[in-house]
Amino acid sequence: MPPSLYRVYASIAGPLRSNPIVYRLLFGHWPARQLHGQLWDWTTLALAAALRRQVLPGASVLDMGTGPAGVLAVYAKHRLGSGKTCGVDTIPELLPSAAATAERCGAAVAFSRGSLFSCVVGRFDIIVFNAPYIPVATGRELGALRHPLDEQRWGGGATGLETIGRFLRQAPQHLEPGGCILLGVSHFYLRPELVADAVTQAGLIQSWTIAHRITRACAYALQPQLKVSSRPDSRPASAKSGT
């Protein structure tokens, strides 16, 4: 997409994503009153749909990269009845408004500052991550990454996969047995085969996806590959040979 066309798109999408009434209609709760600017993106919607499919009452949820509204963490707790629910972000300036959003609707969500799993204690049934997936050079050219804070929130390094790769390698250590990772990306910026390669390299398998053809947002449901035991055959030699 040419930068000029992208700017037209952003001029339409930006006000929509910043409107608290639209936010309330989509997610069922109000954002913090002090919040201004973008509150959600198309990938947020795909991940919210994935949470509706995956979250059972009482399930523990970790929202990685929770953002200024803590939208997915609050949505899981307030609308879906999750149990222990935590939100983590590496940018400390975003956490007070996330906590205020949760408090406004009475959602008990614990927010912490950390780089990926550096502050995470325990294991979770579901780990959801609206990942930073925009290749920095592409984002700058289009005008999607205009400020340093934009690059912190959405810049995925040179390839768009740098943070995603680290997340996928670390996440299984923090999953409960049978747990699920929900990864959100936009195929406008990242080709599906690149995401598939990152998933395979991390030793994960894809269970299902929710993808939007128009917005190209996609939520991947991922789980660790089952390790098959390779115990040596303990039968006596005569039994092995059939004698």
**Annotated domain spans of the chain:** 3-224
- What local confidence, expressed as pLDDT, does residue 161 receive? 95
Residues 146 and 141: their CA atoms lie apart, in Å, by 9
pLDDT of the residue at 228: 53
CATH homologous superfamily, domain 3-224: Vaccinia Virus protein VP39 (3.40.50.150)
pLDDT at site 239: 38
Neighbour-count burial for 150-172, b at 16+ CB within 10 Å, e otherwise:
bbebbbbbeebbbbbbebbebbb
- For residue 110 the two structure tokens come to 């614990």
Residue 126 burial (CB count, 10 A): 26
Query: What does the pLDDT read at residue 170?
Result: 97
Residue-wise DSSP of 141-164: HHTS--SHHHHHHHB-TTTS-HHH
The reported pTM is: 0.89
Low pLDDT (below 70) residues in the chain: 1-2, 227-243
Maximum separation of any 2 CA atoms in the chain, in Å: 80
Output helix, strand, coil percentages for the chain, rounded to the nearest 5: 40, 20, 40
CA distances from 233 to 98, 226, 228, 230, 237 (A): 55, 21, 14, 9, 10
Contact 66, 73 (CB under 8 A): yes
